[in-house]
Structure 1
Amino acid sequence: MTDTILLVERAGEYGLLLRLNRPEKRNALATDLLTRVAEELETAAADPSVRTVVITGADKFFAAGADINELHARDTGGALADPRPAIWARIRGFAKPLIAAVEGWSLGAGNELVMCCDLVIAGQGAKFGQPETNLGIIPGAGGTAILPRLVGRSRAMKMVLLGDPLSATEAQAAGLVAEVVEDGQALDTALALAARIAARAPLAMQQGKAMVRAAFETHQSAHLILERQAFSALFGTADKREGTTAFFEKRDPQWTGS
């Protein structure tokens, strides 16, 4: 399936690739594009043949923030009534592994989309920033709430208060990026990583993602209880039985996601 602002294609047997496609706007995440991302992720969530999703942009920009025309036209009332927070929540609610392949600039809402992803592969020339204060506003979709949890207080303060971006190497050292590769190799690396994840037990991948993400949202004592419940629930799955049986039989497991 394709449309003018988001290109969607299968990637291997169990993968899906979403490509932001507004080159004339440097993939600015206008509400229509953000909505399309949420819709495709919801479709993928309900499709058992999709186990991982990779999202990417263009060679020189992943996404250059929100659409400035939308921001310029909005007053306080419009910002409070904005549908975008609900759209962001839909994206963050995607239960399967989500990987970003980033080349070039990832700014503002683009960087907030990156932070919705579970693993980020970046080309050496990639840059990650929250420059909203240059416009007299602040980040509104995770740039002050999620960013400090990922990169630490001082780096987040510098990014938000000064608008200074992180290089790919700095972003990796800060924990925002999982791997830095040569420019032009981010997508291939992300797709290879997605294929490795898709070949693993699907329910374990989803529970593993959910429990790691819970570390940013749940007190440790409550998190330990959630972790144990998720751990125990997997013991009733066919994949757990297959995994342990395959281990004893010294063969590769055949995962069914059940």
Structure 2
Amino acid sequence: MDTDWETVSLDVDDDVATLTVDRPDSLNALNTETMDALEAALDAAEEADVRVLVLTGAGDKAFVAGADIGYMQSLSTEEAEAYAEQGHTICRRLERFPGVTIAAVNGYAFGGGCELALACDLRVASERAVLGQTEIDLGIIPGWGGTQRLPALVGDEVARRLIFFGERIDAGDAYEHGLVGEVVAHDQLNDHVAEMATELAAKPKFAIRAAKEALNTAHEAPRDVGLDFERRAWSGLFGTPDQREGMEAFVEKRDPEFE
């Protein structure tokens, strides 16, 4: 299934969906039309019940270069709050998407673009990628979750430096800081992420979703609440087709065949 909006495309192949921000002439910057299309594409991906969602940008230069500064320039406080809420909604939907989300960072990922990547489960960067929360030099701060998600990945000191200085870092430094999970050659990024997605899509569906929910809870709730959620999620998987097949295959010394 291929679904296209003017500024976003969604390609669904079996259990993997690829969502592409398609404004290469504008470095895939997020205007209001693109934000609306992202929400619609996420709706379609959820309806397709895919197990993996890959997020990337069109062209050879940018993942998502950021939000539309021309649009933001004249916003009132009330209008800015509504714009921020839509950004938060999209990032929360990526974070809570009922499947694994992978950001294939193929180029510039600044501001809101970096925040979209932060909201994904996994981040793979091209060797050409450059990332940063660059809002400080616009007189603002990250507004779509960057102040909360970035420290969880890179630690408080590094997050403060990146946000206070508005520093742009290359893929190698992003990897060293823990901002991305791996760096690959630019011309191998799509194939590498496609292999990851295929492997993840073959994992047991219910267990992957439970693991994701439990991991998210670790960042969103006190430790005791997270531990209690993990215990309930773990025990709730017993009796599912995934659990039965996985354990039977182990005992029978064969590869599991998950639904």
Give the TM-score category using the shorter length: over 0.9
Q: Distance in 1 between matches of 2:35 and 2:178?
A: 25
Paired position in structure 2 for 1:183 = 186
Paired position in structure 2 for 1:3 = 5
**What SS is found at the alignment partner of 2:187?**
coil
Tell whether 2:137 aligns with 1:161: no
Supply the AA of the counterpart residue of 1:188. D
- Equivalent residues in 2 for 1:188-203 (5 A)? 188-203=191-206
**1:121 Cα deviation after fit:** 0.7
Identity, in percent, stands at 39
- After superposition, what is the alpha-carbon deviation per residue over 1:27-76, rounded to whole angstroms, capped at 9, x for unaligned? 0122322232232223322333x111111113211011001122112121
**What SS is found at the alignment partner of 2:109?**
strand
Tell whether 2:231 aligns with 1:228: yes
**What SS is found at the alignment partner of 2:39?**
helix
Q: Do the aligned partners of 1:18 and 1:55 also contact (CA within 8 Å) in 2?
A: yes
Aligned CA RMSD, in angstroms, stands at: 1.6
Supply the AA of the counterpart residue of 2:55. I
**1:142 Cα deviation after fit:** 1.2
Supply the AA of the counterpart residue of 2:4. T
Q: Distance in 2 between matches of 1:122 and 1:55?
A: 12
**Length-normalised TM-score, structure 2:** 0.92
Q: Do the aligned partners of 2:9 and 2:41 also contact (CA within 8 Å) in 1?
A: no
- Equivalent residues in 2 for 1:32-47 (5 A)? 32-47=33-48
Paired position in structure 2 for 1:204 = 207
Supply the AA of the counterpart residue of 1:132. E
Supply the AA of the counterpart residue of 1:43. A
Paired position in structure 1 for 2:91 = 88
Supply the AA of the counterpart residue of 1:186. L
Supply the AA of the counterpart residue of 1:116. A
Unaligned runs of 5+ in 2: none
Paired position in structure 1 for 2:51 = 51
Tell whether 2:134 aligns with 1:131: yes
Aligned length: 254
Q: Do the aligned partners of 1:102 and 1:187 also contact (CA within 8 Å) in 2?
A: no
Q: Distance in 2 between matches of 1:55 and 1:90?
A: 13
Q: Distance in 2 between matches of 1:127 and 1:134?
A: 17
Q: Do the aligned partners of 1:35 and 1:87 also contact (CA within 8 Å) in 2?
A: no
Q: Distance in 1 between matches of 2:247 and 2:9?
A: 39
Q: Do the aligned partners of 2:51 and 2:98 also contact (CA within 8 Å) in 1?
A: no
Q: Distance in 1 between matches of 2:240 and 2:216?
A: 22
**What SS is found at the alignment partner of 1:28?**
coil
Paired position in structure 2 for 1:71 = 72
**1:151 Cα deviation after fit:** 1.0
**What SS is found at the alignment partner of 2:228?**
helix
Q: Distance in 2 between matches of 1:242 and 1:65?
A: 44
**What SS is found at the alignment partner of 1:184?**
helix
Unaligned runs of 5+ in 1: none
- After superposition, what is the alpha-carbon deviation per residue over 1:161-201, rounded to whole angstroms, capped at 9, x for unaligned? 11102221221222221111112222211111010000110
Q: Distance in 2 between matches of 1:79 and 1:52?
A: 32
Q: Do the aligned partners of 1:122 and 1:177 also contact (CA within 8 Å) in 2?
A: yes
**1:19 Cα deviation after fit:** 1.2
**What SS is found at the alignment partner of 2:28?**
coil
Q: Do the aligned partners of 1:103 and 1:184 also contact (CA within 8 Å) in 2?
A: no
Q: Do the aligned partners of 2:104 and 2:190 also contact (CA within 8 Å) in 1?
A: yes
**Length-normalised TM-score, structure 1:** 0.92
Q: Do the aligned partners of 1:53 and 1:97 also contact (CA within 8 Å) in 2?
A: yes
Supply the AA of the counterpart residue of 1:181. V
Supply the AA of the counterpart residue of 1:131. T
Q: Do the aligned partners of 1:169 and 1:180 also contact (CA within 8 Å) in 2?
A: yes
Supply the AA of the counterpart residue of 1:6. V
